[in-house]
Amino acid sequence: MGSKDFPRMVFEKVYTQDIARLRSMKDMWKTRKPPEPLNFEELSHEALTVSLDIAQQDQSTWTLAENYAVFASSLERLSDRLKQEEATAEPILSFDKDDKDTLDFVAASANLRSIIFGIETKSEFEIKQIAGNIIPAIATTNAATASLCVLQALKVLKDELSKASMVFLERSVDRTANSETLQPPKPNCAVCSVVYSTLEVDTSRATLVDFVSSLREQLGYGEELSVSSDVGILYDPELDDNLDKRFSELGIKGDSFVTVVDDEDESPRVNVVFAISEQSLPAPAAPITAPPAFDIPRRPKPTQPVRPTTPEPIAATAAAAAATNGTAAHDHALTNGSGKRKRAADDAGSGEEEEARKKGRIGERAAMDAE
């Protein structure tokens, strides 16, 4: 520290060598973009054109070269401060959002790493706001949460689980925490309904068929079940290719987890997760030591939606309305939609006679006029 090569040493260690090591782990980057290491020579040459007062522009988002320039400048300033403090006391540097030197270093360092991983960079002003809010929150929340966890853990260690409770922090003037008694697992919950157990296995001898057979013989599982691990589904009624494979061939070893799902239609069990404890179980001992029989809760049957029924008063009203509508329709047919009803057959007959009499009278008048 304090030498001209110090910024280069820190930069190449953090942003070149460590990133190159991360890139070499091919499995980490199968589904995401790998980080891009930075080149010190290129950046230092490009930074020569950066203005010296770039660190004062705290509300603008710096470029890659500008971030490097602030990074190198802040390291030199912090090194000089350590040298001065060495003469009087043990040199200690601590972050303070109002300390310009440490803030410049944190902002530039964070932005350089963000660029490596393709993360959006922030201005120094934004970083100052984030850092100012995060640090006190982490300290106080972690302290409160850790103390509450210890208090509940003591009850578990004393075998006083009935006295343990769930505790919640609250934003209230009256109280800072609230508690609630522990609730039993809900069989229809995908998280708390899962049953956990330990399975002693000789992974070099045990096969998947040994495990499936023990599930059926000792725990009472039926034909419809599936077995999965971190690598995916290992067995189900339509996938039996792995039954003869040993656990070691399937990637199952000590501290691995195997999940059993009951797929029966009628009253299936909740999921069971077995933690694999790798043991040496030489023949003629069984390669799998199943745990003693334990109770596995059943999933509740899904509730069927109830079709709404029409209450009797509504049904009676509907029937009356239908009857009324029928009468109205009949009246409408008789009146042709007008207020007057149609003439009946008798009325129609008398009307025709009246019409004939009128025609006869008109004929008689015409004859008299002609004479």
Q: Using 50, 70 and 90 to split pLDDT, how confident is the model at 266? A: confident
Tell me the pLDDT of the chain averaged across its residues. 80
CA distances, 177 to each of 145, 154, 170, 174 (Å) = 10, 18, 5, 9
Which residue is it, tokens 């690598």? Answer: 231
Task: Give the 3-state secondary structure of residue 198.
Answer: strand
Listed residue (101, 37, 28, 29) closest to 71, CA to CA: 101
Asked if the model's pLDDT at residue 330 lies above 60, the reply is: no
Cβ contact 40:12 at 8 Å = yes
Mean pLDDT along residues 137-141: 73
Contact 229, 257 (CB under 8 A): yes
CB atoms within 10 A of CB 146: 10
Other CB atoms within a 10 A radius of the CB of residue 260 amount to 22
Name beta bridge partners: 199. 276
Residue the block writes with tokens 């708390």? 192
- What's the predicted TM-score (pTM) here? 0.42
Lowest-confidence segment of 185-199, 206-220, 294-308 by average pLDDT: 294-308
Residue 291 has a pLDDT of: 74
Q: What is the pLDDT of residues 2-50, one digit of tens each?
A: 667 788 888 999 999 999 999 998 888 888 889 999 999 998 888 888 8
In the three-class reduction of DSSP (H, G, I as helix; E, B as strand; rest coil), residue 142 is classed as helix
Structure confidence by residue, pLDDT tens digits, 197-221: 888 999 889 999 999 998 888 888 9
pLDDT exceeds cutoff 90 at 111: yes
Note the pLDDT of residue 195: 86
Instruction: Give percent of the chain above pLDDT 90.
Output: 27
Is pLDDT above 70 for 356? no
**Angstrom distance (rounded) from CA 367 to CA 371:** 6
